[in-house]
Amino acid sequence: MISQTVKLASLLAFCGLSSLVSADCDLHNTLTEPMTEPETRTSLCQTTGPDSWTFALDVSEVSVPTFDGDNPLEGVAGNTAFIVYNNDCIPIGIYSPDNEGNDCGVTYWINDIGLPYDIAISQVNFDVGAPSFTINYANGAYMIGENGATCQDISDGLYAEQACHAAFPINGEPE
C-alpha cells in the first residue's frame, strides 16, 4: 500500500512539475496609453497594406567605459523589445521579456491586443550583433531572411542597436 501511495505522490509531483516547465510565457503590453504617431524608422516598420501588420524586434546595448579591470562588463547595459505595429506603423503593443519578472524563455505569447490570433514567438536571438526571430501567427510562420523580413544595424557611437521587422497578414495566410 505504501508503494502505491509513493507512486501516486511521485506521479502527482511529476505532473505538477511538468505544468511548471510548460508554463506559457505570456508577454504583457507595456503601453499604458494608445500611441497616435506612426513609427518613422523604416528599419522597424514599413507600411504593407490594410490587412498586414508588422512585428518588430529592437535590441540595443550601450557600453560606457568604467576602467574596471576586475569587471569588464561593468559599464554594459542593454534592452530588448518586441513591437507590434498596425498597418499605419502605429505601435499597438510594446513587450519586453525583461519586464516579465521571469525567464521562462520561448515560446513567448502575445495575445492582448485584439488580433484574431495569438502571436507565438517560437525562436529568438537577442544578440545585438546578429538578432533574429521566428513568429507563428494563424497558419503562417514569419522569420528574418524571408519575404522581405530584415534586420538593420542602426547603431550610433557607443550605442549598438539592431532593428528587425516582418509583416504578417492579420487574417492569416490565404488557404
Task: Quickly tell me which residue has 530584415 as its cell.
Answer: 150
pLDDT for 104: 75
Contact partners, residue 38, CB within 8 Å, separation at least 6? 45, 88, 89, 90
Q: What predicted TM-score, i.e. pTM, was given to this entire model?
A: 0.80
Q: Which three cell numbers stand for residue 123?
A: 525562436
pLDDT tens sequence across 136-166: 999 999 999 998 899 999 999 889 999 999 9
d(CA 162, CA 155): 7
pLDDT tens sequence across 97-132: 876 665 677 899 999 999 999 999 999 999 999 999
Least confident of 28-32, 55-59, 95-99, 123-127: 95-99
Task: List the end-to-end C-alpha distance of the chain, in Å, as a whole number.
Answer: 56
Q: Has residue 86 been placed in a domain?
A: yes
Helix (H, G, I), strand (E, B) or coil at 142: strand
Q: Has residue 17 been placed in a domain?
A: no
Is 12 a residue whose pLDDT tops 60?
A: no
Q: Has residue 13 been placed in a domain?
A: no
Q: What is the mean pLDDT of the chain?
A: 84
Helix (H, G, I), strand (E, B) or coil at 125: strand
Q: Has residue 16 been placed in a domain?
A: no
Q: How confident is residue 169, by pLDDT bands cut at 50, 70 and 90?
A: very high
pLDDT for 8: 37
Q: What is the DSSP string of 66-88?
A: ---TT-TTTTEEEEEEEEEE-TT
Q: Has residue 9 been placed in a domain?
A: no
Q: Has residue 18 been placed in a domain?
A: no
Q: Has residue 12 been placed in a domain?
A: no
**44 touches 83 (CB < 8 A):** yes
- More confident position, 64 or 156: 156
Domain extent at residue 148: 24-169
Number of domains in the chain: 1
Q: What CA–CA distances, in Å, run from 55 to 21, 44, 71, 125, 150?
A: 27, 8, 36, 15, 11
Q: Has residue 145 been placed in a domain?
A: yes
Quote the longest CA-to-CA distance of the chain.
70
